[in-house]
């Protein structure tokens, strides 16, 4: 049976759709195929018989201990290569380069579309209430209305915690608590109110035409109702939900950031003082 010669192997590998390079233990290039030249956009004379240490920095970094995924900038065009290295016992190395530009572009486009979709989403997936984006969109025009006409506008930020924070699979019970609190808030809202899950265990109630005294009454009622709630925890043991409310009312000069910062500070103060309601003007 006729043996395949080294020249025959190299001729075959020259037609391979992947870039291939062979180096000795000192990083001297012993052989490479045509596909590698095309991928790197370099002529054969720039590689043949050279050491990776003597190559331009950009090219040397691609050939000497390269990362698994490589991004090449060729003018205005970006290309991505996937590199796989095989080290031999004598210290020599063979590296394979696969052009993954199409796959990477599709992946980046998918990520961009997912981000765009997330930006367009206005509902919290757990409670079905408006999410933070929708809440902020609803708050801005109400603040503008208060600036123009002096109408009262109040905010309640509600933070809820489980009575036992050390149980296993805490997320499962947290989400059930958030869902139950969401149902409660929907029952208490007026048609003009905007209520949603702001972030994590925090809910935001935007109350147009509501002065501070009425806001405190509503917050007290919500806290009382939540204190009566419980969910079934591990081994069918009941878990109580503990509420903390931060309250604030629009004052001249306020924007959304100022109002939200005040109620965030008030939530921190309420938790620190272990009091359910902490109102700030």
Is residue 250 within 8 A of residue 281, CB to CB? The reply is: no
Residue-level pLDDT at 93? 92
Is 90 exceeded by the pLDDT of residue 83? yes
pLDDT at residue 52 tops 80: yes
My answer on whether 132 and 97 are in the same domain is no
Average pLDDT over residues 80-104: 93
- Asked if pLDDT for residue 129 goes beyond 90, the answer is yes
pLDDT, position 96: 95
pLDDT at 2 over 70: no
Instruction: Give the model confidence (pLDDT) of 134-172 as tens digits.
Output: 999 999 999 999 999 999 999 999 999 988 767 767 788
Radius of gyration from C-alpha coordinates of the chain: 32
> What mean pLDDT is predicted for residues 100-121?
86
| pLDDT at residue 1 greater than cutoff 60 | no
| pLDDT bucket at 228, cuts 50 / 70 / 90 | very high
Rounded to an integer, what distance in angstroms lies between the CA atom of residue 19 and that of residue 17? Answer: 7
Under 8 Å CB-to-CB from 74, ≥6 apart: which residues?
41
Count how many domains the chain has.
2
Let me know whether 216 and 92 are in one domain: no
Mean per-residue pLDDT for 259-276?
A: 89
What distance in Å separates the CA atoms of residue 197 and residue 126, rounded to the nearest whole number?
9
pLDDT of residue 270: 87
Residue range 93-122: average pLDDT?
88
Query: Residue 63, Cα to own-chain centre: how many angstroms?
Result: 33
Q: What is the CATH number of the domain that holds 46?
A: 3.30.450.20
Residues 170-223 pLDDT 10s = 788 899 999 999 999 999 888 899 999 999 999 999 999 999 999 999 999 999
Whole-number mean pLDDT of the chain? 89
User: Is residue 81 one of the residues assigned to a domain?
Assistant: yes
Residues 10 and 66 in one domain: yes
Same domain (yes/no): 52, 136: no
Lowest mean pLDDT of 28-32, 74-78, 275-279, name the range.
Answer: 275-279
Q: What is the pLDDT of residue 68?
A: 92
Among positive and negative, which fits the CA dihedral 10, 12, 15, 16? negative
Q: Are 160 and 224 in contact (CB under 8 A)?
A: no
CATH code for position 149: 3.30.70.270
Q: Between 106 and 278, where is the model more confident?
A: 106
Same domain, 244 and 162: yes
Q: Is the predicted pLDDT of residue 266 greater than 80, yes or no?
A: yes
Is 118 contained in some domain?
no
Predicted pLDDT at 54: 87
Whether 67 and 178 share a structural domain: no
Residue 116 pLDDT greater than 80, yes or no:
no
Residue 29 structural domain: 6-104
Which range is least confidently modeled, 15-19, 89-93, 105-109, 119-123? 119-123
The verdict on 269 and 182 lying in the same domain is yes
- Residues 268, 160 share a domain: yes
- Identify whether 46 is part of a domain: yes
pLDDT score at 171: 83
Query: Is the whole model's pTM more than 0.85, yes or no?
Result: no
| Residue 278 binned pLDDT confidence (cut-offs 50, 70, 90) | low
Q: Which residues pair with 82 in a beta bridge?
A: 69, 98
């Amino acid at each position: 049976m006729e043996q395949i010669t080294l020249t025959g192997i190299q001729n075959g590998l020259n037609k391979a759709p992947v870039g291939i390079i062979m180096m000795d233990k000192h990083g001297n290039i012993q052989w490479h195929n045509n596909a590698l030249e095309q991928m790197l956009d370099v002529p054969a004379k720039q590689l043949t018989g050279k050491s990776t240490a003597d190559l331009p920095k950009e090219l040397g970094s691609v050939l000497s201990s390269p990362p698994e995924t490589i991004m090449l900038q060729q003018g205005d065009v970006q290309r991505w290569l996937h590199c796989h290295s095989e080290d031999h016992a004598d210290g020599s190395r063979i590296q394979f380069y696969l052009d993954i530009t199409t796959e990477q572009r599709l992946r980046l486009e998918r990520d961009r579309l997912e981000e765009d979709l997330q930006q367009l989403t206005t509902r919290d997936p757990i409670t079905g209430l408006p999410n933070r984006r929708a809440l902020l969109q609803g708050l801005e025009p109400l603040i503008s209305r208060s600036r123009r006409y002096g109408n009262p506008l109040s905010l309640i930020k509600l933070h809820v915690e489980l009575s036992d924070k050390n149980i296993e699979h805490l997320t499962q019970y947290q989400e059930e608590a958030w869902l139950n609190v969401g149902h409660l808030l929907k029952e208490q809202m007026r048609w003009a109110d905007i209520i949603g899950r702001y972030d994590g265990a925090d809910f935001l109630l935007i109350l147009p035409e509501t002065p501070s005294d009425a806001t405190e009454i509503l917050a007290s009622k919500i806290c009382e109702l939540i204190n009566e709630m419980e969910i079934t925890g591990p081994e069918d043991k009941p878990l109580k939900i503990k509420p903390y409310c931060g309250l604030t009312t629009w004052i001249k000069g306020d924007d959304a950031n100022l109002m939200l910062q005040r109620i965030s500070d008030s939530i921190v103060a309420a938790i620190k003082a272990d009091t359910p309601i902490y109102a700030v003007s």
